[in-house]
Amino acid sequence: MTTSNTPEAAAPPPRSRRVAVVVWTAAVVFGGSLMGVQARMNGELATVSGDWSWAALVSFGGGLMLLAFAAMTSKRRALALPRIVAAVRQGRLAWWHTIAGLSGALFVVVQATVAPVLGVAILTIAFVAGQTIGGLAADRFGFGAGGVERISVPRLAGGALVVVAVLVSVAGRLEGGFAWWLLILPVISGFFVAFQQAFNGRVRVQTDVFAATLGNFFIGTMALALVFAVHGALVAGPFDWFGAPWYVYLGGVAGVIGVPIAAVAVGTIGVLRLALALVTGQLVGSLVLDLTLPLATTAVTAWTYVGLALAFVAIVITSVRWGRR
């Protein structure tokens, strides 16, 4: 009797597993759409203030402040960071699981410094390529909470297709005349962001989703505070830090919603599918913003919709079990 019940206890039934994958993938797409909103806010703040390091710090710091207020409402949440430290001391987490926030900090720095040279379109393509490679690697070597997922033809095809989806969606907006070697920076950033999602999932399993989110924002904010201080010491102003509209200072709120969704979902859908869903969500969010609050550089074409459709197809390809069961 014990043996007959073991498989059922070890893993959820196939149908409930499929439902969970669909639900969490949809949730991550929503979280990704908020990242598109966050990027718009950060970009406007950087433009108005004239200081990209300030915009990055406000984004992470705003999220950290919100989480700090939440921690004051519960003793368990107030002990979130000590519980992460305890998990490391007990060997349940490696120390490098706890510094995932550095990947997010690296991305906003690369975004702010390289985008003016490469252009947003090419930066996005390079970042997605790195994130896809990182997702495949993190799954293959079991860095995520969901364990090892081997590299297969459908997973490779899905990863390649989402890069094509982004390329198609930004067709006509590719700027030229830059140093192509700079592409390595957003590729590296995307690669490490994939591992950030995997490590956040590990921290969530050993503590809880609030601790994983708080730890992510704490580390990222500390790193960006250092970047802001160094940048301020080396670069003379004038900077207009508080001259932007009030709503652009709320970019961190989107991260507070998106990071915990990803930390929970990664154990169910894996790092690669998480990366694809986040990219799809970013395309959705960018499209909604371009349609409702267009900028002077906005260009929504038929290719935008084709790229979005290809991104959804990429998720399906990596989600379906192909071949004989």
- Which tens digits make up the pLDDT trace of 80-103? 999 999 999 999 999 999 999 999
pLDDT greater than 90 at residue 211: yes
Entry pTM: 0.80
For residue 293, give the nearest of 32, 44, 55, 48 by alpha carbon: 44
> CA 146, 283, 223: angle at the middle one, nearest 5?
65
33 pLDDT tier (thresholds 50, 70, 90): confident
Residue carrying structure tokens 């409702």: 292
Tokens for 195, please give them: 């591992």
Rounded-to-integer distance, Cα 56 and Cα 289, Å: 20
- Burial letters 180-217, b for 16+ CB under 10 A, else e: eebbebbbbbbbbbbbbbbbbbbbbbbbbbbbbbbbbb
**Which residues, in sequence order, are CB contacts of 94 under 8 Å at separation 6+?**
88
DSSP code of 325?
-
Q: Is 54:239 a contact under the CB 8 Å cutoff?
A: yes
Q: Say what the pLDDT of residue 177 is.
A: 58
Rounded-to-integer distance, Cα 74 and Cα 80, Å: 10
> pLDDT tens for residues 141-199?
888 766 777 778 888 888 888 888 877 877 666 555 556 777 788 889 989 988 998 89
Provide DSSP, 106-149. Answer: HHHHHHHHHHHHH-HHHHHHHHHHHHHHHHHHHHHTT-STT---
Lowest mean pLDDT among 9-13, 133-137, 143-147, 210-214: 9-13
Residue type, 35: M
pLDDT greater than 90 at residue 30: yes
Q: Say what the pLDDT of residue 36 is.
A: 74
Whole-Å CA distances, 26 to 30, 160, 276, 287, 306: 6, 20, 11, 17, 19
> Between 120-140 and 153-169, two packed helices, what is the crossing angle to 10 degrees?
170
DSSP code of 177?
S
Q: Say what the pLDDT of residue 172 is.
A: 62
Q: Say what the pLDDT of residue 92 is.
A: 93
Q: Say what the pLDDT of residue 296 is.
A: 62
State whether residue 173 is helix, strand or coil.
coil
Q: Is the dihedral of CA 111, 282, 296, 228 positive or negative?
A: negative
pLDDT greater than 80 at residue 299: no
Average pLDDT, the chain: 82
252 pLDDT tier (thresholds 50, 70, 90): confident
For residue 61, give the nearest of 210, 216, 221 by alpha carbon: 221
Tokens for 308, please give them: 């979005």
Q: Say what the pLDDT of residue 9 is.
A: 42
Q: What integer is the mean pLDDT of 207-212?
A: 92
Tokens for 12, please give them: 């959820």
Rounded-to-integer distance, Cα 49 and Cα 51, Å: 5
290 pLDDT tier (thresholds 50, 70, 90): confident
Return the number of other C-beta atoms located less than 10 Å from residue 39's C-beta. 22
The count of C-alpha atoms lying within 13 angstroms of the C-alpha of 258, restricted to the half-sphere facing its C-beta, is: 30
> CA 110, 111, 113: angle at the middle one, nearest 5?
65
